Amino acid sequence: MTRFIDSLLTNYWFWLLARVLLSVVFLSSGLAKLLDFQGGMNEMQQAGLSPTWLFNVLTIVTLLTGSVLLLLDRAIWLGAAILIAFLLLSIVIVHHFWSLPEAQAMTSLYVALEHMSVIGGLMAASIASQLRKKISGKSHAQ
């Protein structure tokens, strides 16, 4: 059993699957805002961000850039940092449960907690990427 677990955890395809699953939420959101630009601007307006077009563009670039770095296993630490900053900002700007009416506060709290869990996943992916490169002898300058 230990041999199977070791083989699975070091398998390239398993590592790729982990990165794909971690990036799905960011990639799909970025693409949705790109393909439905007006819908993305409506989201920015609901969040009180202005100018809406600028915040939508910045959000698209942030989500897609972070996702691509994660998917390609290139500078995952940078992609993770970009996405972590995005998640933290979205908690403060949109999901500020501490200052919302009770009816909205619980939903925002749950979203904020989910964001914190994803932040942990991004941190773990950064650590795993670095260790995988050290083990395989590849440069960790990537």
100-133 pLDDT, tens digit each: 998 899 999 999 999 999 999 999 999 999 999 9
Residue at token pair 């915040």: 55
* Cβ atoms of 59 and 27 closer than 8 Å: no
Between CA 67 and CA 115 the distance in angstroms is: 15
Q: Give the model's pLDDT for residue 142.
A: 47
Q: Residue 58 CB: number of other CB atoms within 10 A? A: 13
Check whether 83 has a pLDDT greater than 50.
yes
* Cβ atoms of 59 and 44 closer than 8 Å: yes
Q: In terms of residues, how long is the chain?
A: 142
Check whether 136 has a pLDDT greater than 90.
no
Check whether 140 has a pLDDT greater than 50.
no
Average pLDDT over residues 60-84: 96
* Cβ atoms of 95 and 48 closer than 8 Å: no
Q: Is cis: bond before 51, omega within 30 of 0? A: yes
For residues 106, 84, 43, 111, the Cα torsion angle rounded to the nearest 10 degrees is -20
Tens digit of each residue's pLDDT (9 = 90 or more) over 16-63: 999 999 999 999 999 999 999 999 999 999 999 999 999 999 999 999
DSSP 8-state assignment for residue 138: -
Q: Give the model's pLDDT for residue 139.
A: 54
Average pLDDT over residues 78-84: 97
The pTM for the full model equals 0.90
Type of residue numbered 65: T
